[in-house]
Structure 1
Amino acid sequence: MKTILAFDLDDTLYDELTYVDSGFAAVARFLEQEKLAGFAETYAFMQTRLAGGRGRIFDDLLLHFGSYSRRNVRRCLTAYRLHKPAIQLYPEAVACLARFKAYPLYIVTDGNKVVQYNKIIALGLPALVDRYLITHRFGVHHAKPSPYCFTRICAWEKVEPAQVVYVADNPRKDFIGIKPLGFRTIRVLTGQHRSVEIPEEYQAEQQIVSLNALDDALASLFRRREPHLCKR
């Protein structure tokens, strides 16, 4: 049986907080270039303020440094979203994608279209996977937990949902929409959601501590050992 592997992006293939850090540095550089505040001070403020969440962080930043205006908030947000991120794949993600390169590989990720595209390019993923799907390109209503992008994968690959495995980290939205349709699911306990406990209907069929354990999880999922699940 042909098997398709699909992966989430943020906190599944790389550490999302490294993107946040890269974005803060871009905003701090912008503010320094505009002579609104110094790089070191603004960067440090954002790092400290992050403990309270990302909401309104640029509002608070500009208020603190006496440069607040709605226009400046928008300019900070633009600097954050359009910057070229300094991020890297988890080492285990590099090894995993190489190990499964004979399989059809997909990425399905939510988020701002430009932001997610810049991440994908910075991580070198177009050379490592067959196709990446940014759900917001199809409309926000097709973001997870919508199964829309997953059903498209089935159509492209001419397979049933039971032949598509989604590997992701956020149980709040990653699995609840696709499990009832028969898609197979594996949760990787990495990133900001690794300690989240949630009702059974939201959980994946399998849990792994890192992508290094994906081989065994797939073998368990399909009740047989590698090699190998049928490739292309």
Structure 2
Amino acid sequence: MILVFDLDDTLYDEMSYVISGLRAVALFGEASFGWDAGQSLAFMQAHLLQHGRGKVFDAWLHTHGQHSNTRVATCVHVYRHHQPEITLFPLASKVLKHYFGRWPLYVVTDGHKVVQQKKIEALRLAPMFKRTFITHRFGIRHAKPSLHCFEIIRRAERCEWCDMVYVGDNPAKDFVGLNRVGAMTVRVNTGSHASVVARPGYDARTTIPDLASLPEVLGQWVES
């Protein structure tokens, strides 16, 4: 079997990355303008909880009377290029150690190329995986549900689709393409998509509450 994982909210808590990035921007504000980093982070977290990520930097800069498109762009740059303070879910670490050396392991993740690469580096994933695919490196058109990166894996491993397992969390895009070609798909109910009701055909073949249940599910598939 070929075991492929999503990244965000599958192997680690994506919100921890968001908070790490906001902290980096808060420290930038303190270094550049003297604004208290603790107060800035508290403001941005509160805005995030109430309004989402979209305009958090705009709102923060407005409170200091320093809003401009250039400063917002600078904040986005700091956020995307900071060194993330993130860690694997304990269960993810356990599962990866269990399968490392037994099955070929891969990552396929969507997102900004720099952001995703920095996450991969911060989580120290490279030694455990044969390859980590950031879909946007191949063009946004090859983001999930595109099978482009999965097809590269399939050819490299010389396997059939039924020999591939993908573990993800987002039913809007993670599973629908793979379901159609007969790959095994597992939805892990962690993160912001846990309560999302999937459209017909979009959900994984199997749903588990967390990665602790993955070995049992995979064992059943191997035996069947």
Same topology, TM > 0.5: yes
RMSD of aligned Cα (Å): 1.1
> What code does the residue aligned with 1:5 have?
L
2:165 aligns to what SS in structure 1? Answer: strand
Q: Distance in 1 between matches of 2:10 and 2:122?
A: 15
User: Which shifted more, 60-69 or 16-25?
Assistant: 60-69
Q: Deviations over 1:8-47 (max 9, x none)?
A: 0000000000000100000000111111632122111110
1:96 aligns to what SS in structure 2? Answer: helix
- 1:18/1:87 contact within 8 Å kept: yes
Structure 2: segments with no counterpart, 5+ residues:
none
Q: Distance in 1 between matches of 2:58 and 2:17?
A: 20
Whether 1:106 aligns to 2:94 is no
User: Which shifted more, 41-50 or 30-39?
Assistant: 30-39
Structure 1: segments with no counterpart, 5+ residues:
225-232
Report the number of matched residues.
222
1:78 aligns to what SS in structure 2? Answer: helix
Task: Tell me which residue corresponds to 2:186.
Answer: 186
What TM-score, normalized by structure 1, do the two folds share?
0.93
Task: Tell me which residue corresponds to 1:84.
Answer: 83
Give runs of aligned pairs for residues 94-173 of structure 1, distance below 5 A.
Answer: 94-101=93-100, 102-173=102-173
Residue among 29, 38, 41 paired with 1:40? 38
1:40 aligns to what SS in structure 2? Answer: helix
Task: Tell me which residue corresponds to 2:25.
Answer: 27
Q: Distance in 1 between matches of 2:196 and 2:20?
A: 25
Q: Distance in 2 between matches of 1:71 and 1:168?
A: 36
Q: Distance in 2 between matches of 1:220 and 1:99?
A: 16
Q: Deviations over 1:170-219 (max 9, x none)?
A: 11110012211111100001111111112231110011111111111113
Q: Deviations over 1:64-93 (max 9, x none)?
A: 221101110011001100000000000000
- 1:206/1:221 contact within 8 Å kept: no
Please state how far the C-alpha of 1:222 moved relative to its aligned partner.
4.1
What TM-score, normalized by structure 2, do the two folds share?
0.96
Q: Distance in 1 between matches of 2:40 and 2:65?
A: 12
